[in-house]
């Protein structure tokens, strides 16, 4: 197995708030191999964005602080680098694009100014050379007439165009890793399709790795090689994308898959995960998912008296397994190359605690057609 490009190990992050300390990231370990797309999936407040920002040491300190763990890249621990060296890592080795292309670009500078600034920060080039690199970068992301666009201001562009510019800027220094934090959430579906297609193409051509942070299971399924599902600051499941979608192990992952309406299933009742996404200031004890867990509830019905315990959640009383309330499960390799954090898996007690590492690539890449007989294709394939 080759060495990972980036290895996050046992990362713990804390924030001091008015109501005391919260821990948005707990014991997160993720490896990213060269040329791999790793997806970090989860709902709001699960800690996925804080994890990404911690890699680049971009969380505001204070109130945030990195309690423990390491982020190694090419033999260096990024968390211990002096700030000056860290600045050269940001943008050059690891670049990041954000959800909101509107606020990530400075409105008072032209697109050209902003890209050339990044280029000159990390590469010793002359002005004319920097402009040429910027022009190429815009061409790479599919912007027509790049020379003219260089002199435009962000407000003159649409949301999709701005996101392309952000990607161009991020890629102008040929980073080895791109962190994409909800890159398409603010965009329309047809534009989202364009941007994801572009990211995949660039990733293949340049051989870089992508850490894709998203809440959209469709985006994950169609783009990721390896997926880490986060819930309540922890990685609760980690597996290759096919493995995860075929055989989800954690009840949360399972519930998410069933709760999302899919094209084609009409007006059936959706399955739902009860309860609310937990507030990081008030996580429940034991397994963080137990107040919402269908598996624990179901097993409690069959369990003997002392193995189950009654809990109250918004006026509703129900029984869950005692172990889920009392003891927090570990992330264990419950199947080969498949990690999950749930006591109630039959294999859990025998499964080893190993660091999740997966040098896996997806089997099928989605294909895009731009022209051609799309009417026929749609009929064929939607029906299939």
Partner 1 sequence: MPDAGTLSPKQPQTDPLVSSNDEQVEVHGPGKIAWKRFRRHRPGMIGLGILIILYAMAIFADFVAPYPYSDEERELNWAPPSSVRFSDANGSSFRPFIHPFRINIDENFNTVLEPDPSQRCYIRFLVEGEPYKLLGLIPMHTRLIGVDTVPSQQGGTRYFSRLYLMGADGGGRDIFSRICYGARVSMTIGLLGALLVLVIGLTIGGTSGYFGGWIDDVLQRLCEMVMLLPGFYLLLLLRFAFPASMDSVQVYFAVILILSLVGWAGFARVIRGMVLSIRKEDYVQAARAVGLSNGRIIARHILPNTMGYVVVATTLRIPGYILGESALSLLGLGIMEPTPSWGNMLNRAMDILELNQHPWVLWPGVFIFAAIMAFNLVGDGLRDAVDPRGLTK
Partner 2 sequence: MIDSVPTDSTPGSLAPAPADSLARDRPLVQVRDLKTHFPIKRGVFSKTVGYVKAVDGVSFDVQAGKTLGLVGESGCGKTTVGRTLLRLIPATSGSVHYRGSDFFAYNGQDLRRLRQKMQIIFQDPVSSLNPRMTIGNIIGEPLQVHGIAKGRAKQEMVASLLNRVGLDPAYAVRYPHEFSGGQRQRIGIARALSLSPDFIVCDEPVSALDVSIQSQILNLLDDLQKERSIAFLFIAHNLAVVEHFSDDVAVMYLGKIVEKAGSKELYSNPKHPYTMALLSAVPEPNPRPARHRIVLTGEVPSPSNPPTGCPFHPRCPLTRQAAKEGNAAESTEITTGGRRLRVLQKCVAEVPPLEQKQGEAGHVAACWVTK
Provide the minimum distance between the beta carbon of 331 and partner 1 in the complex, in angstroms, as a whole number. 21
For residue 245, the tally of other CB atoms under 10 A from its CB is: 16
Provide the minimum distance between the beta carbon of 313 and partner 1 in the complex, in angstroms, as a whole number. 3
Residue 160 touches which member of partner 1, partner 2, none, C-beta under 5-8 Å by kind: partner 2
Distance, CA of 218 to CA of 231 (rounded, Å): 18
Are 79 and 70 in contact by the 8 Å Cβ rule? The answer is yes
The DSSP call for residue 45 is: T
Among 35, 42, 175, 278, binds partner 1 (CB under 8 A): 278
Between the CA of residue 173 and those of 21, 64, 104, 177, what are the distances in Å?
37, 29, 18, 11
Provide the minimum distance between the beta carbon of 310 and partner 1 in the complex, in angstroms, as a whole number. 10
Q: Interface residues for partner 1 in 18-37 (CB under 8 A)?
A: 18
Q: Which is nearer to partner 1, 74 or 327 (CB)?
A: 327
Q: Which is nearer to partner 2, 128 or 367 (CB)?
A: 367
Among the residues of 127-188, which ranges form H helices? Answer: 127-140, 146-149, 159-171
Residues 255-274: x where in contact with partner 1 by CB under 8 A, - otherwise, as a string: -------------------x
Residue 282 touches which member of partner 1, partner 2, none, C-beta under 5-8 Å by kind: partner 1
207 binds partner 1 (CB under 8 A): no
Is the omega angle on the peptide bond into residue 72 within 30 degrees of 0, that is, cis?
no
Chain position carrying tokens 């008030």 = 282
How distant is the alpha carbon of residue 327 from its chain centre? 27
Q: Which is nearer to partner 2, 14 or 293 (CB)?
A: 293
Which residues have C-beta within 8 Å of that of residue 337, sequence separation ≥ 6?
A: 239, 240, 243, 358, 360
Classify the phi-psi angles of 172: left when phi > 0, otherwise alpha if psi is within -120 to 50, otherwise beta: alpha
Distance, CA of 25 to CA of 122 (rounded, Å): 30
Chain position carrying tokens 């199947």 = 335
Residues 210-239: x where in contact with partner 1 by CB under 8 A, - otherwise, as a string: ------------------------------
Residue 36 touches which member of partner 2, partner 1, none, C-beta under 5-8 Å by kind: none
Number of amino acids touching partner 1 (CB under 8 A): 19
Q: Which is nearer to partner 1, 107 or 315 (CB)?
A: 315
Structure tokens belonging to residue 316: 């509703």
Distance, CA of 334 to CA of 340 (rounded, Å): 6
For residue 106, the tally of other CB atoms under 10 A from its CB is: 12
Scanning 137-145, 249-257, 282-290, 358-366 for contacts with partner 1 by CB under 8 A, the matching segment is 282-290
Q: Which is nearer to partner 2, 96 or 241 (CB)?
A: 241
Q: Which is nearer to partner 2, 293 or 351 (CB)?
A: 293
Nearest to 249 by CA among 171, 347, 162: 347
Residue 371 touches which member of partner 2, partner 1, none, C-beta under 5-8 Å by kind: partner 2
Provide the minimum distance between the beta carbon of 292 and partner 1 in the complex, in angstroms, as a whole number. 7
Q: Which is nearer to partner 2, 92 or 362 (CB)?
A: 362
Distance, CA of 106 to CA of 347 (rounded, Å): 52
Provide the minimum distance between the beta carbon of 45 and partner 1 in the complex, in angstroms, as a whole number. 12
Three-state SS at 373: coil
Are 240 and 36 in contact by the 8 Å Cβ rule? The answer is no
Among 2, 82, 305, 315, binds partner 1 (CB under 8 A): 315
**Given the rule CB under 8 A, which residues bind partner 1?**
17-18, 274-276, 278, 282-285, 291-292, 311-316, 318
């Amino acid at each position: 197995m080759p060495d990972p490009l980036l290895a996050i190990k046992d990362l713990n992050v804390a924030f001091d708030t008015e109501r005391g300390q919260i821990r948005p990231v707990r014991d997160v370990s993720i490896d990213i191999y060269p040329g791999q797309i790793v997806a970090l999936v989860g709902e709001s407040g699960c800690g996925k964005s804080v994890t990404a920002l911690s890699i680049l040491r971009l969380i505001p300190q204070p109130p945030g602080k990195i309690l423990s763990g390491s982020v190694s890249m090419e033999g260096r621990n990024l968390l211990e680098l002096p700030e000056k060296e860290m600045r050269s890592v940001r943008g050059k080795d690891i670049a990041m694009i954000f959800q909101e292309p509107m606020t990530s670009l400075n409105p008072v500078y032209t697109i050209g100014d902003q890209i050339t600034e990044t280029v000159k920060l990390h590469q010793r080039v002359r002005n004319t050379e920097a402009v040429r690199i910027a022009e190429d970068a815009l061409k790479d992301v599919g912007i027509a007439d790049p020379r003219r666009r260089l002199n435009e201001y962000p407000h003159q562009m649409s949301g999709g165009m701005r996101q392309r510019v952000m990607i161009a800027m991020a890629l102008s220094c040929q980073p080895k890793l791109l962190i994409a934090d909800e890159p398409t959430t603010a965009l329309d579906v047809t534009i989202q399709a364009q941007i994801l297609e572009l990211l995949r193409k660039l990733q293949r051509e340049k051989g870089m790795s992508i850490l894709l942070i998203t809440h959209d299971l469709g985006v994950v399924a169609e783009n990721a090689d390896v997926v880490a599902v986060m819930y309540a600051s922890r990685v609760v499941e980690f597996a290759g994308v096919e493995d995860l979608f075929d055989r989800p192990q954690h009840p949360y992952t399972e519930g998410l898959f069933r709760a999302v309406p899919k094209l084609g299933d009409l007006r059936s009742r959706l399955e739902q995960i009860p309860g609310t996404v937990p507030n990081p200031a008030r996580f429940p004890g034991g397994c963080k998912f137990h107040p919402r867990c269908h598996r624990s509830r179901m097993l409690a019905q069959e369990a003997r008296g002392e193995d189950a315990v009654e809990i109250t959640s918004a006026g509703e009383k129900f029984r869950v397994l005692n172990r889920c309330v009392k003891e927090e499960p570990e992330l264990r390799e419950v199947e080969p190359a498949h990690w999950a954090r749930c006591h109630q898996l039959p294999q859990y007690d025998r499964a080893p605690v190993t660091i999740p590492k997966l040098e896996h690539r997806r089997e099928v890449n989605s294909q895009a057609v731009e022209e051609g007989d799309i009417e026929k294709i749609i009929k064929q394939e939607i029906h299939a």
